[in-house]
Amino acid sequence: MPSNDGPSAADQQLIDHAARHGLAVTAKQFEVWRRAGLLPGNVPGGGLGRGRGSTSSPPPESFDLVLALARRAGRGKRPTDLALLLFADGHPVPEATVRAAFRAAVHAAVLPGEDDGLNDDPGLEERVDHVAGRLAEAGQAFVLVPARVRRIDERIARILGELPEEMAELDENTEPTPMTPQDASLAAVTATLGGTMSVQEIGDLLRGMNPGTAAQPFASLVETTQQDTPQAADLAMADDGSLTVLPEGDARDQLRGLADTASMEDLRVGWRTALQVREWALALCDQVEAELDDGQPGEAVILWLTGRGLPSGMSVLETLRERRWAPSSGAFSALLLLFQRQMYEVLDGLVPGCQWPVLEMPGVLAPPVRDLILTAVQRTTPAQED
């Protein structure tokens, strides 16, 4: 801690080190960073003798951390943001601080009014109704299709016209029930608070996310899972059609659990994958728009059409729903990806080799997500089996 006489000798070493790299830091900043768990305290040394006090020295990792903090810190940067950014850059941020930052990202995902105006121990149905009511009062609803995606869909439709008949025939649902934004909001609240979602609801959600397409083969594939793969469906689905691989209870509790128990390397991999997905989605939008501007739909437009109703298309939607990215967003996305990988591992344990080749098909998953999941389930390709 700085004294009235100025920084300690140990802190002065760090100040001088930063100055040699063209950076200005103060002992007051060190105090703030240490309170936030971003910078370790100085290590006490031996006494100077004859009542002259004692010595201390900075831990070796403090020198690099001070440089990184000086470069990253600024107005509006919260300690949790700094912890996540430094951790992602590979700096030795204390583990407890990193995990607390990931947990804080989950804590920030608060549903409107979920903790006010309720009984001491409300049931799930009461909580869902209460939050859904607050959303309705505020006029809030889930954004199914971000504006940029809607504009791209409309431009492609003007150029290419209707879906080919052979593709339309793959949709076996003759009476689809696509979700409205209000329906999707209710489903999202229910899934968040209860951890459950039925296969039919997933199909309806996929249809709601593709309002301009009359036929949606992938939504149909999801809806008919029980018919097409009865063994897998029997193991992964309850009698009411909900997915048993999804744990019951508040989904955010599962994410908080991952923040506490996932290895540091897994947290870093999840973070890196989340950033790669965002970069991939934005780059795909840019490429599609460039092809449309040139009047020559090419590979990017084909990939867009292939994945529009698949999980890769959902990655694009999720990216564009978030206008302003923040480190906490990256942490939350990282935990969601690790949770998704965990569910695939559970499913692979129930039905070994459960149609994993489908995930390798172009457009099914965003490439970074595909790599994360297929590595986790440790699939053996047919070529390796031979």
Give me the amino acid identity at 43.
V
Q: Which range has the worst mean pLDDT, 118-122, 248-252, 273-277, 341-345? A: 118-122
CB-hemisphere CA count at 13 Å for 264? 15
Please say if the pLDDT value at position 232 is more than 60. Answer: no
- For the chain, give the number of residues: 386
The rounded distance, in Å, linking the Cα atoms of 238 and 244 is 6
Alpha carbon 322 to its chain centroid, in Å, reads 11
The token pair at 186 is 């209710």
Single pTM value for the model: 0.80
Name the more confident of 6 and 121. Answer: 6
Specify whether the backbone of 341 is left (phi greater than 0), alpha (psi in -120 to 50) or beta: alpha
The token pair at 147 is 């504006």
DSSP codes of every residue in 310-328? SHHHHHHHHHHH-SS--HH
Quickly count helices (H) and strands (E) in the chain: 21, 2
Please say if the pLDDT value at position 17 is more than 90. Answer: yes
DSSP codes of every residue in 240-298? TSBBTTSPSS-HHHHHHHHHHHS-HHHHHHHHHHHHHHHHHHHHHHHHHHHHHHHT---
- Per residue in 187-205, is it b (16+ CB within 10 Å) or e — as a string? bbbbbbbbbbbbbebbbbb
Name the more confident of 55 and 73. Answer: 73
Do residues 11 and 30 lie in contact, with contact meaning Cβ atoms separated by under 8 Å? yes
